[in-house]
Amino acid sequence: MATTDFHLKGHYAPVHDELTAFDLPVTGALPPDLSGWYLRNGPNPRQDSAHWFTGDGMVHGVRLENGRAAWYRNRWVRTESFDVPNPVLYNADGSRNLRSSVANTHVVNHAGRTLALVESSLPYEITTELDTVGVYDFDGKLADAMTAHPKICPETGELHFFGYGSITAPHVSYYRANAAGELVLRQPIDVPGLTMMHDFALTRQHVVFFDLPVVFDHGTDGGMPYRWSDTYGARLGLLSRDRPEDGVRWFELDPCYVFHTLNAHDTADGRIVAHVVRYEHMFRPGVPDPKGALWRWTIDPRAGTVAEDLLDDRDGEFPRIDDRLAGLDARFGHVTGRQRADGPLVLRRYDLHTNVAREHLFPEGHLPGEAVFVPADDRPDGAGWLLAYVYDGPNDRSDLVVLDAQDIEADPVATVHLPGRVPAGFHGNWLPDA
- Is 93 contained in some domain? yes
pLDDT tens track for 232-290: 999 999 999 999 999 999 999 999 999 999 999 999 999 999 999 999 999 999 999 99
pLDDT tens track for 283-302: 999 999 999 999 999 999 99
pTM: 0.95
- Is 377 contained in some domain? no
pLDDT at 220: 55
Q: Which residues are annotated as a binding site for Fe cation?
A: 149, 198, 260, 427
- Is 362 contained in some domain? no
Q: For residues 328 and 339, which has the higher predicted lDDT (pLDDT)?
A: 328
pLDDT tens track for 370-414: 999 999 999 888 899 999 999 999 999 999 999 999 999 999 999
Tell me how far apart the alpha carbons of residues 203 and 154 are, in angstroms, rounded to a whole number: 10
Contacts of 243 (CB under 8 A, 6+ apart): none
pLDDT tens track for 411-431: 999 999 999 999 999 999 999
pLDDT tens track for 27-78: 999 999 999 999 999 999 988 777 888 889 999 999 999 999 999 999 999 9
- Is 259 contained in some domain? yes
Is pLDDT of 191 > 80?
Answer: yes
Tell me how far apart the alpha carbons of residues 83 and 153 are, in angstroms, rounded to a whole number: 36
Owning domain of residue 309 = 6-342
Domains contained in the chain, number:
1
- Is 310 contained in some domain? yes
- Is 424 contained in some domain? no
pLDDT at 50: 74
Hey, which bits of 111-242 come out as E strands?
113-117, 124-126, 132-135, 151-152, 159-164, 172-177, 183-189, 201-202, 206-211, 214-216, 226-228, 235-240
Is pLDDT of 364 > 60?
Answer: yes
pLDDT at 53: 86
pLDDT at 25: 98
Tell me how far apart the alpha carbons of residues 270 and 301 are, in angstroms, rounded to a whole number: 8
Q: Which residues are annotated as a binding site?
A: 149, 198, 260, 427
- Is 52 contained in some domain? yes
- Is 385 contained in some domain? no
HSE-up (13 A, CA, CB side) for residue 187: 22
Tell me how far apart the alpha carbons of residues 362 and 345 are, in angstroms, rounded to a whole number: 8
What is the Cα Rg of the chain in Å? 20
Is pLDDT of 87 > 90?
Answer: no
